[in-house]
Amino acid sequence: MIQRIQTIFLFISFALCGLLLVINPIYAEFDYVIDGAEYQAIFLFWSSFGESISGRAGILSFENYWWNFILLILSGSLSFTSIFIFRYSRIQIFSVLISSVFIGILGLKLMYQYIDFKNKNVDSLNYELNAHIFWIILILALNILAVFAIQLDRRSIPQNYFVFPKA
């Protein structure tokens, strides 16, 4: 039902996905040198851009990662819809697990983008991975807690609880 603990876990997971969509936080920053000019690249959850710090002016590159955006939307919407399918606990668990897979894929993509840029042939002056990457871990933990709560709830409810009485 709506007042059970898995609802809170799933709603917080949905809210965090929505927050990441709206805020688009920075999860990695790079300072590097190409041909004597310093540049800075900033990686956000579903976009990135690079700009010149000294020498040349203007934006070097801008990129949108639409798959990251779509994965956030799918994960958040699955978490939200699984709140309302509490009568079908198997489907609810399956949708939460699929949401967790989407968030896991997003986390792997973010780390791949970070490592790929870090290993390119540029002379990096400074690079850092911000704490915003751990929001992915928090969403995964909330989804796992929701699955455990659904399974526990499933065991505590009698099997004929949702069967309508015969008239």
pLDDT of residue 53: 61
pLDDT of residue 154: 75
pLDDT of residue 66: 84
pLDDT of residue 33: 73
Decide: helix, strand or coil at residue 40. Answer: strand
Q: What is the CATH number of domain 5-154?
A: 1.20.140
Q: What are phi and psi of 92, to 5 degrees?
A: -65, -45
> 14 Cβ partners below 8 Å, 6+ apart?
76, 77, 79, 80, 83
pLDDT of residue 166: 60
Query: Which amino acid type is present at position 118?
Result: K
Q: How many CA atoms lie within 13 A of 52 on its CB side?
A: 11
pLDDT of residue 56: 56
Instruction: Give pTM, 2 decimals.
Output: 0.79
Decide: helix, strand or coil at residue 44. Answer: strand
**What is the DSSP secondary structure assignment for residue 165, as one 8-state letter?**
P
Decide: helix, strand or coil at residue 162. Answer: coil
Beta partners for 41?
30, 50
Per-residue pLDDT in tens (0 to 9) along the chain, 167 residues: 566 889 999 999 999 999 988 888 877 777 777 777 777 777 787 777 666 565 555 556 667 778 888 999 999 999 999 999 988 888 999 999 999 999 999 989 888 887 887 777 566 666 777 777 788 999 999 999 999 999 888 777 655 555 555 65
